Chains A and B, each alone.
Chain A
Amino acid sequence: MSVKKFQITIYKNGKKIHEQNNVKENSHFVIVAKKLIENHQLVKGYIRNEKKLSELNAKGIKFTSPL
């Protein structure tokens, strides 16, 4: 079975502060980044009436209005 590899680069105010190639799929950061991307896609689906709120709730997504 092939292992998926990722590359992550972090910039702070335009200046590169971190770069790593060949990051494995099970690393903590990859898991977090993929979750953020998934959240974004689920929210988009909900706003476009393509996803149900229950699907978002099941993923622990909570809409909030701090303003």
Chain B
Amino acid sequence: MPRVLNLQAPYKIYVEEGDEVSLYYFITDQGTKYSISLIKSLEFDDYPFKDNLYEISFFPDKKSHRSDPKIKETIAAFILAFFQNTENILLFVADQSDGKHHARKRLFDLWKNEFDKNNDFTKLDIIFESEFTGTYYISVLYRNENSFSELIPYALEHGLQKYKSSK
């Protein structure tokens, strides 16, 4: 029997824990299964916040044609629970495989504005444009009180600084 997260969310969020894979999921009233994954990123190994940095992804198992506000409320409850550890940092890549990445980015912006009325969070948005593969949106979310709140944006730019100095 999967563990259930103790959250104030419209849909119950379950934890599927295996030896190597841990996934979260919830089932909507329409029967759509949303999987939520958190993975550890090894890309910032040089930085002191590396242990609190997670990449989040969420995917439905089928397309839904009906708007369901409980989905955003459930994902928002999950994200807020994640930030009970005030040191945590969340990375979000807007999936662009179906060409709807602009809409996903806008949705993520709307959620942040809706659920962060007190402006407790900082959001960094990175627009990464490639002449070959198009535009990607990467967002980074963390609490203002995070011990590394000053360092995080610097860390993102650090590569660019290195690039500049090596030219």
Query: What is A's interface to B at a CB cutoff of 8 Å?
Result: 4-14, 17-18, 20, 23-24, 27-33, 35-37, 39-41, 43-44, 47-48, 53, 57, 60-67
Q: Report how far A40 CA is from B39 CA in the complex, Å.
A: 9
Q: Report how far A18 CA is from B160 CA in the complex, Å.
A: 10
**B residues in contact with A32, CB < 8 Å:** 43-44, 159
**B residues in contact with A33, CB < 8 Å:** 126, 128, 136, 138
B28 at the interface (CB under 8 A from A): no
Secondary structure dominating the interface of A: mixed
Query: What is B's interface to A at a CB cutoff of 8 Å?
Result: 5, 15, 17, 20-24, 35, 37-44, 54-55, 57, 59, 78, 81-82, 85, 88, 91, 93, 95, 97, 122-132, 136, 138, 153, 156-160, 162-163
The 6 lowest CB-CB distance pairs between A and B, nearest first, are A28-B159, A29-B159, A65-B22, A27-B163, A40-B93, A7-B129
**B residues in contact with A66, CB < 8 Å:** 38, 54, 82, 85, 88
Q: 29 interchain pairs (CB within 8 A)? A: A5-B131, A6-B130, A7-B127, A8-B128, A10-B126, A10-B127, A10-B157, A12-B124, A18-B160, A24-B163, A28-B159, A29-B156, A29-B160, A31-B159, A33-B138, A36-B138, A37-B128, A37-B136, A40-B93, A47-B23, A47-B57, A60-B42, A62-B40, A63-B21, A64-B22, A64-B54, A65-B24, A66-B54, A66-B88
